[in-house]
């Protein structure tokens, strides 16, 4: 998702009280030092305008959430939503997931959400896909043992790639559907993302897996 570059968005974000700007200094202690509690920490990587994580945090006040987004102009939209409806258990981080292990300590994360991640269709860019083995290895370091990743997309070739990577990277496939909205069990409690709403409304089946960090 590339929104028009918004002048000054970096500066606005740097001063926003819902953004963790000194995240590296809290590495390993984010729940205690940022949220002032010991609740489990869950993150969404590539959250876009933040609809999914905002609704998730709103319905689960006993869990801490961080929405991660690479682009300031996109993150700004999520901050505008938060200004209208403040949540004590949600913060944001502007960061490229490539560097995620610089920000979170070993086993610090309880769950990771990946929604409609960029496909990077060229084979030579496969390592940039957020569910590639390259990234799964990074997540292994920050996710607690038996922690989960939930991934949704309407892009079938990307999903097939992601399922293959699960085996290669030695994770456990817990649940998998190629048509989420017609899967009675997996759709229960589903929160739609902006992209999901768009693609579901034009009839695209949504794929979802849940995988476990067994290492
Ligand atoms: N998750 C949202 C949804 O389902 O509506 C947005 C999906 S959009 C296709 C992908 C988002 O991931 C974009 O906002 C993009 O800027 C962000 N993104 C892509 N690569 C990223 C990375 N390496 N680190 C952090 N965010 C990233």
Residue 132 to residue 109: CA distance in whole angstroms = 19
pTM of the model: 0.96
29 CA to middle of ligand 1, Å? Answer: 25
pLDDT tens for residues 60-115?
Answer: 999 999 999 999 999 999 999 999 999 999 999 999 999 999 999 999 999 999 99
In the predicted model, what is the mean pLDDT of the chain? Answer: 96
149 CA to middle of ligand 1, Å? Answer: 16
What's the pLDDT at 20? 96
Partners of residue 95 on adjacent β-strands: none
Which of 3, 9, 48, 180, when mutated, tests ligand 1's pocket best, judged by the most ligand atoms within 8 Å of its CB?
Answer: 48
CATH superfamily of 3-212: Vaccinia Virus protein VP39 (3.40.50.150)
pLDDT tens for residues 187-201?
Answer: 999 999 999 999 999
Given a cut of 90, is residue 6 above it in pLDDT?
no
120: nearest Cα among 141, 135, 140, 101: 135
What's the pLDDT at 19? 97
118: nearest Cα among 148, 163, 78, 158: 158
What's the pLDDT at 59? 98
46 CA to middle of ligand 1, Å? Answer: 3
pLDDT tens for residues 131-176?
Answer: 999 999 999 999 999 999 999 999 999 999 999 999 999 999 999 9
**What's the maximum distance between 2 C-alpha atoms anywhere in the chain?**
45
pLDDT tens for residues 33-53?
Answer: 999 999 999 999 999 999 999
Indicate whether residue 72 lines ligand 1 (CB < 6 A): no
What's the pLDDT at 200? 98
Q: Are strands 207-212 and 172-177 parallel, antiparallel or unpaired?
A: antiparallel
E strands, the chain, are: 41-45, 64-69, 90-94, 109-115, 143-153, 172-177, 207-212
Res. 14 pLDDT band, cuts 50 70 90: confident
Indicate whether residue 1 lines ligand 1 (CB < 6 A): yes
Given a cut of 80, is residue 1 above it in pLDDT?
no
Given a cut of 70, is residue 4 above it in pLDDT?
no
Partners of residue 149 on adjacent β-strands: 112, 211
Name the DSSP letter for residue 194.
H
Please give the positions annotated as active site. Answer: 118
Name the DSSP letter for residue 51.
H
Distances (CA, A) of 165 to 75, 78, 86, 202: 29, 31, 37, 28
CA-nearest residue, atom 25 of ligand 1: 70
What's the pLDDT at 31? 97
Helices of type H across the chain: 9-15, 30, 51-59, 72-84, 133-142, 156-169, 194-201
Helix 133-142 and helix 156-169: axis angle, to 10°? 60
Phi, psi angles (nearest 5°) of residue 84:
-75, -30
What's the pLDDT at 179? 98
Indicate whether residue 200 lines ligand 1 (CB < 6 A): no
Helix, strand or coil, per DSSP, at residue 132: coil
Res. 3 pLDDT band, cuts 50 70 90: low
């Amino acid at each position: 998702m590339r929104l028009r570059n918004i002048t000054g968005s970096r500066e606005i974000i740097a001063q926003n009280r819902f953004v963790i700007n000194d995240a590296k200094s809290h590495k390993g202690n984010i729940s205690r030092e940022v949220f002032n509690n010991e609740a489990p920490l869950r993150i969404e990587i590539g959250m876009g305008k933040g609809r999914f994580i905002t609704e998730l945090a709103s319905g689960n006040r006993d869990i801490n959430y961080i929405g991660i987004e690479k682009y300031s102009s996109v993150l700004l939209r999520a901050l505008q939503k938060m200004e209208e409806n403040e949540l004590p258990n949600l913060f944001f981080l502007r960061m490229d997931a490539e560097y995620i292990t610089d920000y979170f300590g070993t086993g610090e994360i309880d769950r990771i959400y990946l929604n409609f991640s960029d496909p990077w269709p060229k084979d030579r860019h496969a390592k940039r896909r957020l569910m590639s083995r390259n990234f799964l290895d990074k997540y292994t370091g920050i996710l607690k043992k038996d922690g989960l990743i939930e991934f949704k997309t309407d892009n079938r070739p990307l999903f097939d790639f992601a399922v293959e990577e699960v085996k290669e990277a030695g994770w456990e496939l817990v649940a998998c559907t190629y048509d989420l909205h017609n899967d009675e069990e997996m759709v229960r409690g589903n929160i739609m993302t902006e992209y999901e709403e768009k693609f579901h409304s034009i009839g695209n089946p949504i794929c979802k897996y849940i995988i476990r960090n067994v290492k």
